[in-house]
Amino acid sequence: MTSALNPKYSFDSFVVGAANRLAVTAGRTVAENPGSAYNPLFIYSGSGLGKTHLLMAVGHAAKKGAPALNIEYLTLDEYVEAFHAAIAAGQGDAFRRRFQNVDVLLVDDVQFLTNRKEMQSELLRLTEALQVGGHQMVLTSDRPPPDIADLDERLISRLSGGLVVDIGAPDYETRVAILRRKAEERGAKFEPGVLETVADAESGNVRELMGALNRLVAFQAVNDRSINAATAKQLLGIGAEAAPGDGGKGAAREGAAPAPRSGDEFGDFLADVTVTVGKAVEAWRARVGEAVLRWEGEGYRTRRLEALLERDTPAAVDEVITAFTQDVERLKELEAEVAELDPQAAGQSVFRDPERLGEAEEVAAKVRDGAAPPPGPSAAFPLGAYAVGPSNEVAVSAARAVLKQPGKKYNPLVLVGKSGLGKTHLLNAIGLELARGKRAVVACLSTQAFVDELIAAIDGDRVDWWRARYRRATALLLDDIHLIAGKERTQEELFNLFNLLQDKERQLVFTAPAQPHTLPGLEERIASRLAGGLVAELKEPDREVKRAVLERMLGQHGASPDPALVDYLADRPADSVRGLVGELQRVVGAAAAQDGPLTAGLAREVLEGQAPRDSRRSAGFRTSGIVVSSLGGIKSREKMVWDWSDVADRVIEEFR
């Protein structure tokens, strides 16, 4: 269906003269950068001036530059035929797809679109698809697009949108050059002046020129003798009377000018001027046109550039294009930023109009202000205040590794341990350290708050905003992840957020009371993701940790710690740091009530208690709400109340 490119038709064999220089330059440019320079390139000229040659030369050169390119050459008639065959076979879509995947499409003789409405719309669709895909189109015709009869306006504007160049009739010098090259190709030799005579015939068409040359070659071959200029003239029917203008001019030339110069100085001059004007005038228009096409294609308004085309003088074209491009780039930045903060706001048209950059900046600023950062870590839990001992060594060293390479080493990090062992403290401490980083947005909150926020967002119909808020986070730290159990929507959102943040190598840290897989109500996909990083366990505080905590606490109370007191408290069994702190607070409270010093004796008295407490101790077992420590001391009042499991127990207590 598609014609092969004729290897004879290359740029090398194309004789360049003033009349076709612009077209050849454009063709070469297109072949070097298919799809980016002039798209589509539309070449028109009268018959026999080299359209097809040039078209195929573009194909050859493009193939040479990038052998992987898919290049198709065909005439419009072939295209029409192929289309009809495809439609008849019910393969219309396949046909379209095939041509939309062509990198360089060369279509010859487009003028035959006249009176073919369905082909016009088909070509329009194809042109659009190719342009959008950045594929090159080169078309030829015997007249410019607006002159093709009955052509759809839209197609005219599409076809004229790239570069429209014409190939003029070759001038005398070019004609001689063409004849010499063709004679050489045919291995024919002529006497001096013969080819010049042929060229002088002023045939405006290379094909006719070839015809004339062929006749001479044939005559020479048949008669086996070389012909001279006069014979050639006779043979070709160029008499003095046949071309009076020529003869006259020649005579005048000889008579008036003993000039050492070549024949057509004016022609040379014209050629030069053509090239210069082409460079100067059309180049900037083409640049502007390209810019308009490009940005329009990306959906931006291009009023400023279009205004440029209406101007009389092309003042500072490049500056305007550069400034425009910068504005568009800025719009892109703003839109990307806004999209992350508030996806709904990003769709606004101000981000597509460089003339409204100011407004776009304002919108972005508003969105920036509106998007409150997600809740951050609490400053009450600095890492420096975290007591380290063998019981939590693993977790703390994991935390340090995370701080060293956030998002890269242990992601996620899950801190597991019973209540009161300092998970929340460590979590917030990690958050605080991460927040020190430049541009860090650390989301650190309890899972309950996370769930509540989502519910509020759903209620306020701003889930997008809520999502965007967390998607910005450079680290997400959730306390008590087991509280997500049964919250299906939150698990869904967390799952997505988790994947997104992990993909971007942003740190995730969670705390949980037990190993992820043992947590009830947690979806398998979440549990497995949690287990996929590092699960670090915090154990019951060891003596070292307890001592560190006690010393720090006592230091805070302003008291110089009594070593015996610290030893006593540290030696008492405590299953959590929080329990230990509770005991200490009770001792401190008692000391304050008595206005006495903090001593080990007082502590023993307070914590181990005397008779009244003993008598209650046995009763304690009856009320399930009271938890009695193994050594008889009640751990803490708050804890006791906290542990009441239901109303019935409380009623019994009240009653008692």
Partner 1 sequence: MSLVNFTTREITCKIVYYGPGRSGKTTNLHYIYGRVPDSRRGRMVSLATQTDRTLFFDFLPIDLGQISGFSTRFQLYTVPGQVYYNATRRLVLQGADGVVFVGDSQARQLDENLESLQNLQSNLLEHGVDIRTIPLVLQYNKQDLPRELILSPADLDDALNFRSLPSFSADALHGKGVFETLKGISELVLKKLAAGTAA
CB 163 within 8 A of CB 131: no
Is 376 exposed, middle or buried (CB count within 10 Å of its CB: 0-12, 13-18, 19+)? buried
Smallest distance from partner 1 to CB 237, Å: 24
Give the span between the Cα atoms of 575 and 554, in whole angstroms. Answer: 20
Region near partner 1 per CB under 8 A, out of 195-203, 251-259, 417-425, 609-617: 251-259
Q: Tell me which DSSP letter residue 559 carries.
A: P
For the bound state, the minimum distance from the C-beta of residue 72 to partner 1, rounded and expressed in Å, comes to 29
Per CB under 8 A, does 283 bind partner 1?
A: yes
Query: Minimum CB separation from partner 1 for residue 311, in Å?
Result: 7
Binding status of residue 575 toward partner 1 by CB under 8 A: no
Residues 314-373 that bind partner 1 (CB under 8 A): 314-317
Here's the x/- map for partner 1, 56-95, by CB under 8 A: it reads as ----------------------------------------
Q: Should residue 48 be labelled a site residue for partner 1 when binding is judged by CB under 8 A?
A: no
- Residue in 225, 261, 438, 439 binding partner 1, rule: CB under 8 A: 261
Which pair of tokens denotes residue 143? Answer: 């007249």
Binding partner 1 (rule: CB under 8 A), the pick from 256, 593, 611, 647 is: 256
273: burial class by Cβ within 10 Å (0-12, 13-18, 19+)?
Answer: exposed
Minimum gap (Å) between residue 314 Cβ and partner 1: 5
Q: Looking at 347-422, list the stretches that DSSP marks H as alpha helix, in order from N- to C-terminal side.
A: 357-370, 393-404
- The separation between the first and the last C-alpha atoms of the chain, rounded to the nearest angstrom, is 101
Sheet with 507-512: list strands edge to edge. 442-446, 475-479, 507-512, 413-416, 534-537
The residue length of the chain stands at 656
- Give dist(CA 416, CA 540) in Å, integer: 12
Residue with Cβ nearer partner 1 (81 or 318): 318
User: Which residue type is seen at 449?
Assistant: A
Classify 35 in phi/psi space as left (phi over 0), alpha (psi -120 to 50) or beta: left
Helix (H) or strand (E) holding 432: helix 423-435
Q: Which window, 197-205, 275-283, 368-376, 508-516, contacts partner 1 (CB under 8 A)?
A: 275-283
Binders in 508-527 for partner 1, by CB under 8 A: none
What one-character DSSP code corresponds to residue 30? H
- The C-alpha atoms of residue 282 and residue 272 are separated, in whole angstroms, by 15
Residue number with CB closer to partner 1 (230 or 277) = 277
Cα distance between residue 156 and residue 40, in whole Å? 11
Q: Using CA atoms, how far apart are residues 51 and 73, in angstroms rounded to an integer? A: 13
Q: How far is the CB of 279 from partner 1 (least distance, A)?
A: 7
Figure out which of the listed residues 218, 281, 458, 631 binds partner 1, where binding follows CB under 8 A. 281
Whether the CA torsion 96, 100, 103, 109 is positive or negative: it is: positive
Residue position matching structure tokens 């568009």: 328
The amino acid present at 397, given as its one-letter code, is S
Contacting partner 1 (CB under 8 A), which of 78, 128, 142, 282? Answer: 282
State in angstroms the smallest separation of the CB of 37 from partner 1: 16
The rounded distance, in Å, linking the Cα atoms of 49 and 389 is 91
Please give the C-alpha separations between residue 608 and each of 70, 312, 374, 569, 633, in angstroms, as whole numbers.
Answer: 90, 100, 46, 12, 5
Between CA 275 and CA 278 the distance in angstroms is 5
- Shortest distance, position 26 Cβ to partner 1, whole Å: 11
Per CB under 8 A, the list member of 47, 114, 276, 326 interacting with partner 1 is 276
Site string for partner 1, 6-25 (x = CB under 8 A): ----------------x---
The 3-state DSSP class for residue 224 equals coil
Task: Verify binding: residue 255, partner 1, rule CB under 8 A.
Answer: no
Give min distance, CB of 280 to partner 1, in A: 4
Calpha distance 405→410 (Å, rounded): 9
Residue 620 near partner 1 by CB under 8 A: no
- 280 in contact with partner 1 (CB under 8 A): yes
Looking at the Cβ atoms of 282 and 337, the one nearer to partner 1 is 282
CB of residue 23 to partner 1, shortest distance in Å: 11
| Among the listed residues 12, 312, 524, 646, the single contact to partner 1 using CB under 8 A | 312
Contact between 258 and partner 1 per CB under 8 A: yes
- 250/532 with CB nearer partner 1: 250
Minimum distance from residue 18 beta carbon to partner 1 (Å): 10
218 binds partner 1 (CB under 8 A): no
Collapsing DSSP to helix, strand or coil, 206 comes out as: helix
Nearer to partner 1, 29 or 226 (CB): 29
Of 150 and 272, nearer to partner 1 (C-beta) is 272
68 phi, psi to nearest 5 deg: -75, -10
- Report the distance separating Cα 42 and Cα 579, nearest Å: 85
- Of 447, 492, 501, give the one whose Cα is nearest residue 471: 501
Considering beta carbons, is residue 268 or 296 the nearer one to partner 1? 268
CB of 160 to partner 1, least distance (A): 11
Identity (one letter) of the amino acid at 226? Answer: S
- If the CB atoms of residues 269 and 642 are measured against partner 1, the closer one turns out to be 269
Q: What backbone torsions phi and psi does residue 317 show, to the nearest 5 degrees?
A: -60, -50
Binding partner 1 by CB under 8 A: which of 90, 192, 260, 558?
Answer: 260
Q: Is residue 142 involved in binding partner 1 (CB under 8 A)? A: no
CB atoms under 10 Å from CB of 162, counted, come to: 25
Helix (H) or strand (E) holding 507: strand 507-512
Q: With CB under 8 A, what is the number of residues at the site for partner 1?
A: 33
Interface residue with partner 1 among 81, 208, 272, 488 (CB under 8 A) is 272
Residue from 94, 277, 323, 379 in contact with partner 1 (CB under 8 A): 277
Stretch that binds partner 1, among 125-133, 305-313, 409-417, 489-497 (CB under 8 A): 305-313
Q: Which stretch binds partner 1 (CB under 8 A): 145-153, 279-287, 439-447, 568-576?
A: 279-287
If one asks whether residue 307 binds partner 1 (CB under 8 A), the answer comes out as no
What is the spatial distance between Cα 445 and Cα 427, in angstroms, rounded to a whole number? 9
Chain contacts with partner 1 (rule: CB under 8 A):
22, 252, 256-261, 265-266, 268-270, 272-274, 276-284, 310-317
